[in-house]
A = this chain, B = another copy of it.
Amino acid sequence: MIPSENRLAEEYGVALATMRMAMKQLVDEGLLDRRRGTGTFVKQPAFRADLFRFFHVHDVDDPDIPVIPESRILSCQKVPLPPEAQKAFGEDPVSQCVKLERVRLWSGEPLLFEEIYLRLPDFEELLSLNLKATGPLLYPVFLEKFGILISSATDELSFGIATETSAKQLELTPDAPVAVIQRIARNPAGRVIEFRRVHGRPERFRYRVTLGDQPA
């Protein structure tokens, strides 16, 4: 909680209305939270999970019920940065990164295979973290453990063929067609935090997204 507008206005030697306007701006930017009769609080950044939940399991009965597939982490290690990820991260001279591999399943069947590349040294500690203890969503973990907020992402969907690894994990024959997603995720400052490549079983794959003014 921060001091009242009365106190702050006095402290900074400005009129009350001016202080109100300034605070209103910060509220609009999502940095403050005001409650009438109570006070003004610094808003802790909340990860908007609803914005980033695109993967929908193809449920024949009711495709409108969103489900979060189970998550199984395969490995987490320090590796040299592959060229695609290098390009995504931009000019920053990063040579090493953390690579996380995981499979996402639904009803026990593999759905997605994910290769996730994260910046060093920001995510150094991830290597010694017990990831099995966390939930299936990664971004809330980033926020809680590392103080890193993911606030925007660009996804690019296309079709490709499975690699040796992804075929094995998705229980497909090598060179089988797969759905491919490349994601670049950023913090509020626009800095690229994560590069992700996902392979998905095409027959169950479904990606939903809403653009523009979100309807109420």
Q: Which residues of A contact B (CB under 8 A)?
A: 48, 51-52, 56, 58, 150-159, 177, 179, 186, 188, 190, 202-203, 205-216
Return chain B residues, CB-CB under 8 Å to A212.
48, 51-52, 150-153
Q: Chain B: which residue is nearest A153 at the CB level?
A: B211
- How many chain copies? 2
Q: Chain B: which residue is nearest A207 at the CB level?
A: B157
Q: How far is the CA of A64 from the CA of B180 in the complex (A)?
A: 17
Q: How far is the CA of A150 from the CA of B158 in the complex (A)?
A: 26
Return chain B residues, CB-CB under 8 Å to A209.
154-155, 209, 211
Beta-carbon contact of B186 and A215 below 8 Å: yes
**A158 CB contact (under 8 Å) in B153, B154, B155, B206:** B206
Beta-carbon contact of A159 and B202 below 8 Å: yes
